[in-house]
Amino acid sequence: MGISQQEACMIIRSVRGHYVVVFPDGVTVECSARGILNRRGRELYIGDYVRLKDGVISEVLPRKNEIIRPPLANLDQLCFVVSACEPQPNLRLLDKFIAVSVYKKIQPLLLLTKIDLASCEEVYQLYQSISVPVLIVDYQKPETIQAVRQAFQNKISALTGNSGAGKSTLLNALDENFSIPTGEISQKLGRGRHTTRHAQLYPLRDGGYIADTPGFSTFETMRYAVIRKEELADCFIEFSAYREQCRFHDCSHTCEKGCAVLDAVRDGKIPASRHESYCAMYEEAKQIKEWELCQK
């Protein structure tokens, strides 16, 4: 095949210890991993850059970032698919995602779907106001799909969000060759069936790769990252303009007198819903045990 054994390649699929890797020229190879990697407790992630020796993964290169579940590494952007309805937008869930994305130094991108069924203007304006990129997906307007394609071009991206928000439908619109199964919304539960069973990177026709991840109806931040309470304010980017003005250097930004962040919330400079999400996450972070910090 003319492939250098020392040339780095990327894992794009993993099924029960068997891997598919892609080289820079687009050639894909099926392989396994050396037992020493497993004995050292080094789990291989989709998106890992590796080197092969005799058709076996022998080395894993350093990661620039990772998320724990699903196991994805070296992401350029994390794309949050949010439906205008069915299911209703869950802003608390979305704020947790964005916090994890900022913590992991992954560019967040918000994609609004099902706008033909309900208005998404409030959600659009909210996240635009805190400088999170937002794209509206309207399947009746091809230019909106093309804008998403351009946002994904030559990047390693992952789609995530509430079950039923339309992740697989969006992937199929980006490239009809994907043919990813989609599920119907359960009217009783108000959520989608979990149609994606595993993480996989799909090549995009305009360059780059994208992962469709298993959907969920509830969210635990620690599935993606363990964030200490002292680190959490850094993950709410709109706090940065005010934090240095707080009276106390160890201000938690939840209830203290002289807190500039709380003043900004009262003055409408920080969205109240975002601060409510921060306070809820802060309370959760206070409950983190020392052993959980080892997952970082």
Q: Domain total for the chain?
A: 3
Whether 216 and 74 share a structural domain: yes
Given 198, 221, 244, the domain boundary residue is 221
Whether 4 is covered by a domain: the verdict is: no
Q: Domain check: are 54 and 89 in the same one?
A: no
Q: Is the pLDDT of residue 101 over 80?
A: yes
Decide if pLDDT at 272 tops 90: yes
Q: What percentage of the chain exceeds 90 in pLDDT? A: 47
What is the rounded distance in angstroms from the CA atom of residue 5 to the CA atom of residue 182?
Answer: 39
Note the pLDDT of residue 159: 84
Task: Indicate the SS3 state at residue 260.
Answer: helix
Residues 137 and 89 in one domain: yes
pLDDT of residue 84: 78
Minimum mean pLDDT among 115-119, 139-143, 163-167: which range?
A: 163-167
This prediction has a pTM of 0.81
Q: Which of 158, 152, 139, 29 is nearest to 81 (CA)?
A: 158
Q: Yes or no: say if 109 and 98 are a contact pair by the CB < 8 Å rule.
A: no
In a domain, 1, yes or no: no
The answer to whether residue 92 sits within a structural domain is yes
Report the pLDDT value the prediction gives residue 180, as an integer from 0 to 100: 60
Same domain, 71 and 210: yes
Of the candidates 26, 25, 30, 1, the residue with the CA atom closest to the CA atom of residue 14: 30
Domain final residue, candidates 221, 256, 277: 221
Same domain, 36 and 87: no
Of 199, 221, 243, the residue that ends a domain is 221
pLDDT at 22 exceeding the cut of 70: yes
**Token pair in block for residue 200:** 């996989």
Contacts of 263 (CB under 8 A, 6+ apart): 242
pLDDT at 37: 65
Distance between CA atoms of 49 and 65, rounded to whole angstroms? Answer: 12
- Residue 268 sits in the same domain as residue 204: no
221, 96 Cβ separation under 8 angstroms: yes
Whichever domain contains 159, its CATH number is 3.40.50.300
For 209-236, the pLDDT digits (tens) are: 988 665 544 445 556 678 899 999 999 9
Of 13-17, 147-151, 194-198, the range with the highest mean pLDDT is 147-151
Determine the structural domain holding residue 187 and report its residue range: 67-221
Q: Is the pLDDT of residue 283 over 90?
A: yes
Residue 274: name the closest of 237, 245, 243 by CA.
237
146 with 51, same domain: the answer is no
CA distance 236 to 213: 24
CATH code assigned at 272: 1.10.40.50
Domain match, 98 and 183 both: yes
Select from 113, 83, 95 the least CA-distant residue to 271: 95
pLDDT at 291 over 50: yes
